[in-house]
Amino acid sequence: MVWPRKGRGRGLRYFALRILRLKSSPHSIAVGVAAGAASSFTPFFGLHIVLAVILASVFSGNVLAAAITTVLANPITIPVILTASYEIGTALLGSQGGETVTSAEIGRMIEHMNLAELWGPVLKPLLVGSIPLALAGALVFYPLAFRAAWHFQKQRRHQPVQKVGHSS
C-alpha cells in the first residue's frame, strides 16, 4: 500500500510552516497565498505557478508564498475544480455557452486536439466558471493566511532567542 506513514497532514503542515516562516509582512504573505489559491482554481495547468507569481507581483504579495500555495491544484483537487468550473461556467453562460457535450465527446475532441470544437462546449465554460472560483479562493485564503501569519510572527517575536552551541 502506498501511503505516507505520517499521513497526508504532515505534508500540508510542512507547506503551511514554510509559508509562515517567510520574512515578509502578514499582508504580503496573505496576498501571495491568495494569488496562489486564485491561480490554482484556473484551468491553466502547467502555468499555475507562473500565473501566481504574476498576480503576487502585481498586487505586491510574496511570490514564494504564491508559488507554494499552488499545491492546492493537485491530482486530488483538479477533478473537483474542473467540474465546479464547468458547472458554474455553463450556469453563467446559459445558452450562450453552446450545447453541452458528453465526456466521450470531450475525449474525442481532445484526442483530435480540435480546439475550435472544444471552445464553445468546454473551454469557454471552464474559463468563465474559473473566475468566480478564483475570486472566492482568494477571498477565503487571504484572511486565513493573514491571521495565521500575524499570529505566527507575534508568537515568534515573544519567544526568547536560543543561542546555539553555548552551554551554561
Cell representation of residue 26: 502578514
- Angstrom CA distances, 108 to 53, 97, 100, stand at 34, 19, 14
Q: What is the pTM of this model?
A: 0.78
d(CA 100, CA 2): 38
Q: For residue range 36-61, list pLDDT tens digits in order.
A: 999 999 988 889 999 999 999 999 99
Strands (E), the chain: none
* Residue 152 pLDDT greater than 70, yes or no: yes
More confident residue, 119 or 127: 127
Q: List CB contacts of 42: < 8 A, sequence separation 6 or more.
A: 48, 51, 130, 134
Binned at pLDDT 50, 70 and 90, residue 15 comes out as confident
Residue ranges per structural domain of the chain: 8-154
